[in-house]
Amino acid sequence: MKVQAFITSGILEKYVLNMTTEQEVQEVLDMASQHLEIKEELAAIRQSLQGYILAHQVMPPANLKENSLSVTKSKRTNDIRSEPARPNRSYRKSAEKKPSSPSGTNYMGIASALLALALIAASFSAYSFYKDVERAGEEVEAAKAETASVEKQLASEEQRVKDLNTQLSFYHDRNNQLMTLAGSRRAPGARATVYWNKETTSAVIDVVKMPDLVSGRVAVIWVNTGRQTQKIGVLKPNNPGETTPLTFVANPDLFYVTEEISSDVERPNRSRILMTGSL
Amino acid sequence: MDIKQETLKKIADRDEEAFTQLFDAIGPTIYGLALRITESREKADKVVEESFSRIWRTASSYDPSRINPFYWIINIAKSAALENEARSDQFDFFAYQESNSIGSNLRDMLNSIDTKHRKVLELAFFRQMEESQIEQEMNIPVGTVATRLRLAIKVMRRVQG
């Protein structure tokens, strides 16, 4: 009797449509594990819903198939694009041209004139040699100070490169799964990337463009895993090169960001979805 | 529709033929779903492309113990469609479907559902509204939402046999 009442309550339909609370989800799972009728009822509801989805089929335009399947070729396209460019024939030809020698020039005359100029220059040089040495000493001191400053700057740049490399090694980790959170109608243009790593059980978010929020509100990040919804962080604008860590959740289905009155809320306000995305 | 786990496994192994077969099998379903949610042909095209791109990229993460392949794909398409939701009063999904029909007899099933029950199901499935939101949208008590959902699905079960 209890089973029949549970079935007719409508909770199973809500469960299949993802409309149940976490408590109700648990209730359905418990009942399904205890009663075969409920398990069968769930399967029948899923089957009906599948029919409902299929009833909305529409023949896609011909080019859509080609465009959709082209994702398999993108690697090849990139490979082709990454081929080094062939040298430009006309450029090579002109580069290989030998310079033509001037003709009809009196080499002896030029040499004599250069020798005379060199002698005059040497006498001037001898005169100013002492002054130059004195000035050079001052320049060496200035150069030393400048070198120290450049070295300091270099050390700071090296540290920055080191930090960036650490970050890059994270970004380039082959175990990372990338997911773009795109702005909804409420926040068009908002964008962020989640780096989700199953191996290191870590996840971070890189905010490209923050959604516009009502004053005093916060943007909370949620993840759906099967029937569960979990809060995994609060969206904050990050500086270039910085990311915000998120709580790692195994097997996420859907990520989304909602606008909330506080970061302490326990359930998402689904009418204020700002961004969504899935792995 | 029976999408096999092996198909997703093959796609994870970069089998382009399996990917093409998957498009032939489920492309019209994803396109219909995308049109119904976005109410825009342009956006629906984008959603289908994005969905297949995600399927190709993430097939290796498909876990058969958690969800069947059909609903795994539908979830991907739904989330891509909800990201591209546009909504326009200009677009008449059913008229468009009529002129681009693939001859599914399941369409008749929709007409057998009472309009107000069907509306609740549409808001729940295509617009992913919660009970309280449907309550507000349709101005009906929250208990009625569950009842109408149940009745809509009951009719579909009867029609589908």
At residue A85, the pLDDT reads 35
pLDDT at A113 over 80: no
Q: Which residues from A are below 8 Å from B157, CB to CB?
A: 44-45, 47-48
pLDDT at position A102, please? Answer: 46
Backbone dihedral angles phi then psi of residue A177, each to the nearest 5 degrees: -110, 130
The alpha-helical segments, DSSP class H, found in A218-266 are: none
Write down the pTM of the prediction. Answer: 0.56
> Has residue B136 got a pLDDT over 60?
yes
Contacts of B7 (CB under 8 A, 6+ apart): B18, B21, B22, B69
Helix, strand or coil, per DSSP, at residue B65: coil
State which residue of chain B sits closest to A63, comparing Cα positions.
B45
B102-105: long-range pairs with CB below 8 Å, 24+: B102/A57, B102/A58, B102/A59, B102/B28, B104/A54, B104/A55, B104/A57
Q: Hey, which of A117-126, A212-221, B10-19, B122-131 has the most confident mean pLDDT?
A: B10-19
Checking ipTM against 0.85, whether it exceeds it is yes
Give me the total of CB pairs closer than 8 Å, taking one residue from chain A and one from chain B. Answer: 159
Residue A10 has pLDDT above 80, yes or no: yes
DSSP B113: S
A171 touches A261 (CB < 8 A): no
The number of residues in chain B equals 161
Whether the per-residue pLDDT at B144 is higher than 80: the answer is yes
Nearest to A68 among B52, B86, B106 (CB): B52
CB A156 within 8 A of CB A171: no
Report the mean per-residue pLDDT for chain B: 89
Contacts of A177 in chain B (CB under 8 A): 58, 61
Can you tell me the distance from the alpha carbon of B110 to that of A17, in angstroms, rounded to the nearest whole number?
Answer: 17
d(CA B5, CA B73): 11
